[in-house]
């Protein structure tokens, strides 16, 4: 089946003591294999909420998330969440350890990934000795070792400076494409969305509905940039 996941009429409301916050309102879309989707929208529009629902960390209020059988979802947050007291290698093995999957095959996959993405010689280093970009690659490898079908990235580059953001984001998309993983990238950077993804879903202000969806078909990046800018900032 080409369709990995379908989101159908998804809504999420948070109930706090003082008020109800409707974060997502009737969101529907599908993710196919080899889709690279960016979700872009104002701050507080429910982007992180959507990823939490997709990863199963939170429960939807209404609607459905229909997943292909045995679908594996990887999730990487804004901060890389590497454990400073573990080496690069130990950090990468952590997920496998927790899920009791430290098989020979999985361990050699970790080593393959470290070698392929230029981290093998740093495998016994501690995270604090690495650059921001290298840390992001370690975090990505740690997520890839569970062999996800879809990777969820929540503003993963926002803590890096501009120059590094360009380098790391192109590293990351290359790795994801090489490993044949589909992507949902949450970002507020229009350029990043256009460069990395081939579908862009624009969320409205809260309660978020899908305001627009773009398929990036050609290299006319400026045209897409202008349209998405208007969606986000027009009065
Ligand atoms: P985004 O990632 O687009 O900036 P979020 O998904 O983090 O937005 O949040 C959407 C809205 O839901 C915000 O108004 C936020 O304050 C609210 N929200 C998120 N998580 C919770 C929670 N656990 N409890 C209450 N409100 C929440
Ligand atoms: Mg967020």
Q: Where are the domains of the chain?
A: 1-72+150-172+181-235, 82-147
- Binding pocket residue ranges, ligand 1, CB within 6 Å: 14, 16, 21, 23, 41, 43-49, 206
pTM attached to this predicted model: 0.90
3-state secondary structure of 28: strand
The pair phi, psi for residue 101, each rounded to 5°, is -120, 30
Superfamily name with CATH number, domain 1-72+150-172+181-235: P-loop containing nucleotide triphosphate hydrolases (3.40.50.300)
Residue among 44, 55, 206 to mutate when testing ligand 1 (max atoms within 8 A of CB): 44
| pLDDT score, position 80 | 65
| pLDDT score, position 218 | 78
Q: In angstroms, rounded to a whole number, what is the distance separating the alpha carbons of residues 191 and 213?
A: 16
| pLDDT score, position 213 | 96
Segments of the chain with pLDDT less than 50: none
Mode of pairing for the β-strands spanning 199-203 and 62-67:
unpaired
Mode of pairing for the β-strands spanning 36-40 and 73-76:
unpaired
User: What is the residue with the minimal CA distance to atom 25 of ligand 1?
Assistant: 14
Radius of gyration of the chain, Cα coordinates, nearest whole angstrom: 18
The token duo for 217 is 């078909």
């Amino acid at each position: 089946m080409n369709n990995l996941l379908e989101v159908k009429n998804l809504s999420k409301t948070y109930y706090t003591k003082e008020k109800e916050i409707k974060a997502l309102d009737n969101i529907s879309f599908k993710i196919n294999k080899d889709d690279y989707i960016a979700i872009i929208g104002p701050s507080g529009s429910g982007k992180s909420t959507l990823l939490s629902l997709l990863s199963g960390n939170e429960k939807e209020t209404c609607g459905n998330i229909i997943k292909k059988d045995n679908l594996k979802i990887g999730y990487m947050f804004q901060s890389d969440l590497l454990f400073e007291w573990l080496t690069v290698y130990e950090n990468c093995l952590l997920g496998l350890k927790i899920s009791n999957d430290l098989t020979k095959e999985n361990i050699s996959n970790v080593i393959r990934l470290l070698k392929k993405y230029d981290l093998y010689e740093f495998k016994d280093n501690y995270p604090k000795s690495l650059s921001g970009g290298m840390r992001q690659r370690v975090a990505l490898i740690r997520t890839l070792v569970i062999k996800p079908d879809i990777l969820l990235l929540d503003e993963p580059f926002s803590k890096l400076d501009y120059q590094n953001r360009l380098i790391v984001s192109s590293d990351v998309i290359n790795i994801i494409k090489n490993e044949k993983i589909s992507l949902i990238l949450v970002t507020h950077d229009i350029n990043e969305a256009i460069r990395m993804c081939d579908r862009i879903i624009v969320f409205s202000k809260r309660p978020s509905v899908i305001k627009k969806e773009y398929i990036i078909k050609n290299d006319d990046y400026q045209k897409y940039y202008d349209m998405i800018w208007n969606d986000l900032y027009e009065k």
